[in-house]
Chains A and B, each alone.
Chain A
Amino acid sequence: MYALREAIAAFRRAPVLMGLSSAMVGLALFVVGLFGLATYNLQLALTAIEDRVEIAVYLRDDARQAEIDLAQRELADIPEVRTVRFTSKREALERARIDLPEFGELFSDLEVNPLPQSLEVELRPGNRSQEVVERISNSALAYPFVEDARYGREWVDKLFTLRRLGAATTAALGAAFALVAALIIGTALRIAIFARRDEIYVMRLVGATNGFIRRPFLLEGALAGLVGGCLAWMLTWATYRGVYAYLFEIAWIPPSWIAGGLATGAVFGALASTFAIRRHLREV
């Protein structure tokens, strides 16, 4: 109770110093927030592309309907598969006419429909990895009436390479930004605590235990981090609105990321204060 009261009182007693510390924390976390916004949207874009990954299983013309129905059922029973849709030769031609209007004449002049009937296998979200796609393709190819199973191997390979690269870059850049933010927060709170070294000295002098001295500063650091986190949130939101209104459509980061950012600010603040105060506690 005393620690919380003192932590709040610090903002009242030294509003400029605490305001500046919070602003520095806020700006540091704002960079992290922008990075989060970019990462989240990149992730959404990759997921949207990934959603389009499906397997086209081309069937021989002489495949019997009973065999096709059985294959459709068996493939649909695979846990990673969401739906298996049958496309007849006629439907394939219709779709080609719609999708490729520039070849309209060519399709009208055909005496025999050259397009094969097929089963289109759609996968459940989260199961569109390279390994799953390959395994299900191989299962389909095991049917004697299946001519080919395609999923755009090169394209999927590139997509997953891009995803892995994205994840590695995100982790590295995220860690770098977080480190920079931690250093800035640490410096800001170090300055704030240095300005109050006399106070710490007096506290030690009258017999305050280290824990008693540390607690309000720890909470103060957490509060500065939290206030800074809120500032970063507002700045990131303003940037998002600006980009959305004037540049292109993007998505706002999920609430769990915001909560994580605020908690990170508070934890960084508390840790930075703990480290900054340690030196002063050894002095008397």
Chain B
Amino acid sequence: MHIRKGEFAFLTGHSGSGKSTTMRLLHMSERPTEGEVRISGFSSDQMTDRDIWKIRRRVGFVFQDFRLLPGRTAQENVAFVLEVTGTPTKSIMPRAQRLLSQVGLSTKAGALVHELSGGEQQRVAIARALANEPVVLLADEPTGNLDDRATRGVMDLFWDINAMGMAVLMATHDLDLVRRYPHARVFELDNGRVVYDSKATEG
């Protein structure tokens, strides 16, 4: 399985097919027992702790359950990533505010995350994932907890991000959602193996 720069791909498959495991492998939260994961010049075969930190700063990750830091505002959640990566203190808050504007939440920057709707929380999570200007955005069932309206909003946001040149890989079991975007590449997994690749079929 290979995803190019600027590509938008869905990763589908039934429950237990290995979608989340694949996402965790790409994010280096898990190491492969066989095979190799390569991201932006790093290989899982020769990976130090320092490399893992570097990769995580080049890969944005969005979860189904948002995984925001509780008790903090939307802006603080985004700012946290910038602090982690050593962004100069003065530019952290303005940059966090810009990222929130990019996902349509400029007016909610000061709101505590539990005060936001599910769709808004997912937007904060996307803004956070974009903070490091990653080469690829991984999204594991990002619309799984959202209603139709919020799902559309989040999907539009993913396409906007992709239009700026960032690769997006989104794991989902929702085939109706996948069918709505016929231009996207689709991988289907079964038992941890790619059993379908729409691009290969086209070729």
Contact = CB atoms under 8 A, between A and B. Distances in A.
Interface stretch (B51-59, B149-157, B166-174, B186-194): B51-59
A202 B68 contact: yes
Contacts of B55: 207
Interface in B71-118: 71-72, 80-81, 83-85, 89
B71 A207 contact: no
Interface residues of B, number: 24
B203 interface: no
Contacts of A205: 27, 29, 56, 61, 67
Counting from the closest, the 10 A-B pairs by CB-CB distance are A207-B56, A13-B71, A207-B57, A208-B84, A206-B81, A207-B53, A202-B67, A199-B69, A284-B29, A209-B53
Interface of B: 27, 29, 49, 53-57, 61, 67-72, 80-81, 83-85, 89, 128, 131-132
Interface string A178-205: 0000000000000000000011011111
Interface residues of A, number: 18
Contacts of B81: 206-207
A206 B29 contact: no
Contacts of A212: 84
A198 B72 CA distance: 13
A171 interface: no
A209 to B, nearest CB: 6
A198 B70 CA distance: 9
A1 B86 CA distance: 12
A284 B71 CA distance: 22
Nearest to B85: A207
